């Protein structure tokens, strides 16, 4: 199964990864913020990930890693 790792402290909360995920398994944390004070992206259902890496390609700050 593909493994997605998000460096939540480095995330700037732009939401681009959420918008491109074809499986809709990324979302912005609603109740938590990181040191930058933003609601960071998080994985909600790793099992549904198809490893397309669209999220990693889209992230402007390269904080997402996809291992296949
Ligand atoms: S690798 Fe593809 S399916 Fe998995 S979280 Fe990223 S965009 Fe979504
Ligand atoms: S695209 Fe990158 S910086 Fe933007 S919300 Fe997703 S992980 Fe955070």
Taking only the tens place, the pLDDT of each residue in 6-17 is: 999 999 999 999
Average pLDDT, the chain: 98
Alpha carbon of 36 to ligand 1 centroid (Å): 24
Q: Which of 19, 36, 40, 54 to mutate to test the pocket of ligand 2 (most atoms within 8 A of CB)?
A: 40
- pLDDT classification of 30: cutoffs 50, 70, 90: very high
Structurally, the chain folds into a number of domains equal to: 1
Taking only the tens place, the pLDDT of each residue in 42-61 is: 999 999 999 999 999 999 99
The whole-number pLDDT of residue 62 equals: 98
Alpha carbon of 46 to ligand 2 centroid (Å): 17
Atom of ligand 2 nearest to the CA of 64: 7
Residue 57, domain CATH? 3.30.70.20
Domain residue limits at 23: 3-67
d(CA 19, CA 36): 21
The whole-number pLDDT of residue 17 equals: 98
């Amino acid at each position: 199964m593909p493994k997605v790792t998000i460096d939540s402290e480095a995330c700037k909360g732009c939401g681009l990864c959420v918008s491109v995920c074809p499986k809709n398994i990324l979302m912005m944390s609603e109740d938590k913020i990181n040191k930058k004070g933003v609601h960071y992206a998080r994985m909600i259902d790793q099992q549904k990930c198809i490893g397309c890496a669209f999220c990693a390609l889209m992230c402007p700050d390269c904080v997402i890693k996809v291992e296949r």
